[in-house]
Structure 1
Amino acid sequence: MISHRETRFVPYPAELMYAVVSDVEKYPQFLPWVVALRVLSRSENHLTAEMAVGYGGLRERYTSDIRLDPQMRRVDVAQISGPFKTLENHWRFIPQGEGCEIEFSIQFEFKSRLLHGVAGAKFEKVMLKMTDAFEARAKAIKENGEAA
């Protein structure tokens, strides 16, 4: 299994960072490896979404359960179906002055050992860039005065 955990400070409010991460329908606009995303069901603090991702020649589609906690500024994601034996990621945004601390963790393992061997390293590179991509999106929103 491949896992990654990081904590970093960003100069953007926790509410903005939470809004960017929880707005999954916009992922194809700013995450280059997200080819398509479709929300299958939605309730106040819960989504089920199907995501198609691509990196190099590899394309995969999977469905995730997404739990949103706006009060605690947490987003928890777990795969329901797809090519992974395990895929979970967790986001938490902690206010710190005018910015916030991001706590991000992800772990994954493909069902197929062959796919894990071939795609695992590529997928890991993508995952290591996740916080950078969300931080860049928050910066663009703040600079352009967009709604998150």
Structure 2
Amino acid sequence: MPSHRETRHLPWSHEQMYHLVADVARYAEFLPWVIATRVKSDSDTEMVADMVVGFKQLREKFTSLVRKVPGERIEVEYLDGPLKNLENIWQFASDGKGGCTVDFYVSFTFKNRLFETLAGQYFDRAFRKMVSAFETRAEELYGNSSSSAAIVAS
């Protein structure tokens, strides 16, 4: 089962980064391989959303339950689609200086062995690119980060 963990110190507030990650409806605007999203229901603490992802001719839709602790944590629980399971957790913490630390973790298994094999070959690089896309989006929304963003651990 492929997994990836990455922690970044970023110059934006933990609230800003939380809101950016919680805005699933806009993922197709900036995330690589996300073709479309549809939020089925949304509240301050929970969301159900569909996401269509694709690479070349491969396209898959999956549905997730997103549990939210505003400003602190987002947990994604897999409901339906091409996966056997998915665990995705984002944690946001203030650094006390106006910036924050973002901890990202994802682990999943595809039902289809071919997809699992392909994912294993590209998984780490793909998720690093995805996390970087969130950082780039934060720069667009909240201003230039200069060079103070750094990968803390991977």
Q: Same fold (TM over 0.5)?
A: yes
The answer to whether 1:56 aligns with 2:60 is: no
Instruction: Output the aligned Cα RMSD.
Output: 1.6
In structure 2, the partner of 1:67 is 67
Aligned residues: 143
How many angstroms apart in 2 are the aligned matches of 1:82 and 1:15?
30
Comparing 16-25 and 35-44, the one that deviates more: 35-44
Higher relative contact order (CA 8 A, sep 6+): 2
Q: Structure 1, residues 56-100: CA drift from partner, whole Å, max 9, x if none?
A: 3321110001011115x1010011001111112100111011211
Unmatched segments (≥5 aa) in structure 1: none
In structure 1, the partner of 2:31 is 31
Please tell me whether the aligned partners of residues 47 and 65 of structure 2 are also in contact (alpha carbons under 8 angstroms): yes
1:48 alignment partner, SS class = strand
In structure 2, the partner of 1:108 is 108
In structure 1, the partner of 2:44 is 44
Identical counterparts, % of pairs: 45
Unmatched segments (≥5 aa) in structure 2: 145-154
Runs of 4+ with >4 A deviation: none
Residue 45 of structure 1 deviates from its aligned partner by 1.1
In structure 2, the partner of 1:83 is 82
Q: Structure 1, residues 3-57: CA drift from partner, whole Å, max 9, x if none?
A: 0111111111111100100011110111131100001122331010000001233
Please tell me whether the aligned partners of residues 6 and 105 of structure 2 are also in contact (alpha carbons under 8 angstroms): yes
